[in-house]
Amino acid sequence: MDTENGTDAERGAARQIEPAESVHAAELRFLAAYDTGPRPPGWRLTPRAVVLFVCGSQGVVLELPDGAAAPGQAAGSDPVRKMEVSGKFVGDRDLIERCVVTLAGERALMLVGEPGTAKSMLSELLAAGVSGDSTRVVQGTAGTTEDHLRYGWNYALLLAKGPTGEALVPSPVMAAMRGGGVARIEEVTRCLPEVQDALVSILSDRRIAVPELSGSSDGAVYAAPGFTVIATANLRDRGVSEMSAALKRRFNFETIGPIADPDAEIGLVRRQAHGALAKVTGQTAFGVDDAVLGVLVTAFRDLRSGRSAEGWEIERPSTVMSTAEAVAVATSLALAAAYFPGDRDVLSLVPGHLLGVVRKDDPADADRLLGYWDSAVRRRAQDGARTWQRMWELRDVLKG
Ligand SMILES: Nc1ncnc2c1ncn2[C@@H]1O[C@H](COP(=O)(O)OP(=O)(O)OP(=O)(O)O)[C@@H](O)[C@H]1O
Ligand SMILES: [Mg+2]
């Protein structure tokens, strides 16, 4: 066999990213055994267990009720009767409950928000928790067509056998309809209006007509109970293809905001950067201490909100200072510490990375960062905070 061209499974290839249901397979199995209450049609877990999966058990070790069978194990290992569920989405639990209730009612859910607020991550986690499959996803772009939402054909089979069910290539949405699962549509507002209209009809009729098959059946694929859609839309893309009122009416909207609590954001950045470092290097030593993370996340929050924790006004750059990018910078700092140990202190790398994040859209943003240095950073340095004094000394980096 030609191993270069074989499938991933044949080649035993490692994957850069695993879907949420694979990464968290043990938690999903445990939660299915932990909460055996009634589930909405097509659901793998109860609504309560889905919320637990997304938000985590907040340090509580969950124990299976007496008499509940432990989930299936690898041969020879002890059954798992206790587990702490890891925290994944950081934010309002009520919001997650509302999302879960929307999906339990088979209504479509729209997650909107600024870039990098974990809309895609949340949609993946919800799909994994509800239907055990987060991979039925259509990425919305200007090139997305109606067929990407509906179906296509295997042309070799179509020519050989004509339009049969065998030759039909279902879209991820059609596959989710058949299986009674969750389909995900990313960046809906990047799709052209006619593609969005196709979604309106799928969500209203809950079936996709396949006229080519009408000889052998009524020529339609119907949604099984449980089918629903989670879509995401970025507020910065407003106006690319504004959603029609008809489309909006078919969704329950939830707005995902930036993380409110500074300590929770620092904790998340530490956890995710640590995880990313371990994945790349296999090392567990994390060379970015809390003081550095504190400076980094504080700068992101100040520039994102236009106001510091002390209440000082700050001129905001036009770039979104997202948590996702704070994680990326913290990961770069940790990698620098791992691969270039002892070269430079990690703190001294922070201004250069911040400049890289800020200077994307508008050249004037670099001046705004300098303005931040001359106001908030200087004042904190004058107040005697050591890490901020060091930041102030590094001001020249920003002129580069
Ligand atoms: N509230 C949060 N809880 C957990 N992780 C978060 C949160 N906010 C941001 N993140 C970080 O953001 C990363 C994922 O961002 P994601 O791609 O899901 O954002 P998005 O809102 O879909 O962004 P975009 O609009 O650019 O598509 C996560 O892996 C995590 O590191
Ligand atoms: Mg996204």
**Residue 123, ligand 1, Cβ within 6 A:** no
Tokens, residue 291: 């003081």
pLDDT band for position 282 (50/70/90)?
Answer: confident
**Residue 115, ligand 1, Cβ within 6 A:** yes
Closest ligand 1 atom number to CA of residue 236: 25
pLDDT at 217: 64
In this structure, which residue's CA is closest to atom 15 in ligand 1?
118
One-letter amino acid at 110 equals M
Closest CA to 225 of 38, 39, 46, 41: 41
For residue 166, pLDDT over 60 is answered with: yes
163 touches 153 (CB < 8 A) = yes
Domain 8-256: CATH superfamily, name plus number = P-loop containing nucleotide triphosphate hydrolases (3.40.50.300)
pLDDT band for position 280 (50/70/90)?
Answer: confident
How many CB atoms neighbour CB 270 within 10 A? 19
171 touches 150 (CB < 8 A) = yes
- Report the C-alpha gap between 355 and 215 in whole angstroms: 62
Burial label, 177 (beta-carbon count in 10 A; 0-12, 13-18, 19+): buried
**Residue 90, ligand 1, Cβ within 6 A:** yes
213 touches 168 (CB < 8 A) = yes
For residue 245, pLDDT over 60 is answered with: yes
Closest ligand 1 atom number to CA of residue 327: 31
Ligand nearest to the CA of 119: 1
Closest ligand 1 atom number to CA of residue 88: 4
How many CB atoms neighbour CB 315 within 10 A? 14
| DSSP assignment of 309-332 | TT--B-PPPSS---HHHHHHHHHH
When pLDDT is averaged across residues 215-233 and rounded to a whole number, the result is 88
**Residue 91, ligand 1, Cβ within 6 A:** yes
When pLDDT is averaged across residues 281-293 and rounded to a whole number, the result is 88
Residue spans per domain, the chain: 8-256, 262-399
Answer with the residue of higher pLDDT: 331 or 10: 331
Tokens, residue 208: 């996709």
pLDDT at 65: 85
Answer with the residue of higher pLDDT: 70 or 293: 293
**Residue 326, ligand 1, Cβ within 6 A:** no
In this structure, which residue's CA is closest to atom 4 in ligand 1?
89
Closest ligand 1 atom number to CA of residue 91: 1
Average pLDDT across the chain, whole number: 91
CA atoms within 13 A on the CB side of 278: 9
